[in-house]
Amino acid sequence: MPKVSVIVPVYNVEKLLERCLNSVLNQSFQDFELLLIDDGSKDSSGQICDNYAKKDQRVRVWHIPNGGQSAARNLGIDNVYGTYIVFIDSDDFVELYMIEYMVNTIKKYNSDIVQCSFTNLYKNTEKFKQDKIIEQKIGSKDFLELFLTKWDSNLFWNKLFKREVIENVFFKEGRCIDDEFFTYKCVINSKSIVTSNKIVYNYRMRKSGVMKSESSQKQILKDRVDYLYERYEIVRKIYKDLDKDFLEHLLTYYLIISKDYYVDEKLLDYMKNNLKSIKGKIIT
């Protein structure tokens, strides 16, 4: 059995895919499998995946009708063999020491998740040298509190997960937002998380015409309304002393969303219905 399962959903990234795959296959840590899920690509991405599978037995490929990245990642989760799981987006690439560092760190602290740092890639971005690496082990409850102040806590592609904390946790399909419905549930399933400022991931900011459309912007707002409410309901049942902080966070962002350019009466009514069940808490 491989130590690590790397899940990469692939869709129309023929110009960037090879750099991503090479950054995985050339890792200093070699005990892993690479799961490539071709999500109905219309360019040569699917063929590129097959070519890599022919050259390297650690690569497994699925070709599926286009259903979105969440569906592709869920297929990957259903087919992993590794002790640990990491997710990488096919238009990004990782440092060659990433898996080795993350595996060593999660074992060093006997933790369930390790979160590392990353760079945002823009044109002419230059890397900088890190002088000091800071690692910290914290409990899952304390890490949940970071969700209220540190946006990168929500991310999943900057983390390595023990396989057991992902069991029965899947990405919500049909959503524009992936992270928020997934990561906090894995944190709840864990006992401790290690945070590190070591840069291991290179995140590429790409402009997408689809994501900039009005329908997508409205779906993103709907996703945020749903995950904020869902997360609040789940967290407060497990950690009652976090109720107030997560409620205030929910109300703050509902107010922000209500002023968004793309909000409509339908979504406002939907938000009001969500708040009816906690009306007494709001008054208090």
Structure confidence at residue 247 as a pLDDT band (50, 70, 90) = very high
Beta bridge partners of 7: 35, 87
For the segment 150-171, the average pLDDT, to the nearest whole number, is 95
Question: How large is the average pLDDT for residues 58-86?
Answer: 97
Q: How confident is the model at residue 178 (pLDDT cuts 50, 70, 90)?
A: confident
Q: Determine phi and psi for 229, rounding to 5 degrees.
A: -70, -45
278 band by pLDDT with thresholds 50, 70 and 90: confident
pLDDT reported for residue 276: 86
- Measured CA to CA, the distance from residue 247 to residue 79 in angstroms comes to 37
In 56-166, which ranges are E strands?
Answer: 59-64, 84-87, 93-94, 113-121, 135-139, 159-162
Global pTM value: 0.93
Give the model's pLDDT for residue 279.
66
Check whether 128 has a pLDDT greater than 70.
no
Average confidence (pLDDT) over 238-242: 95
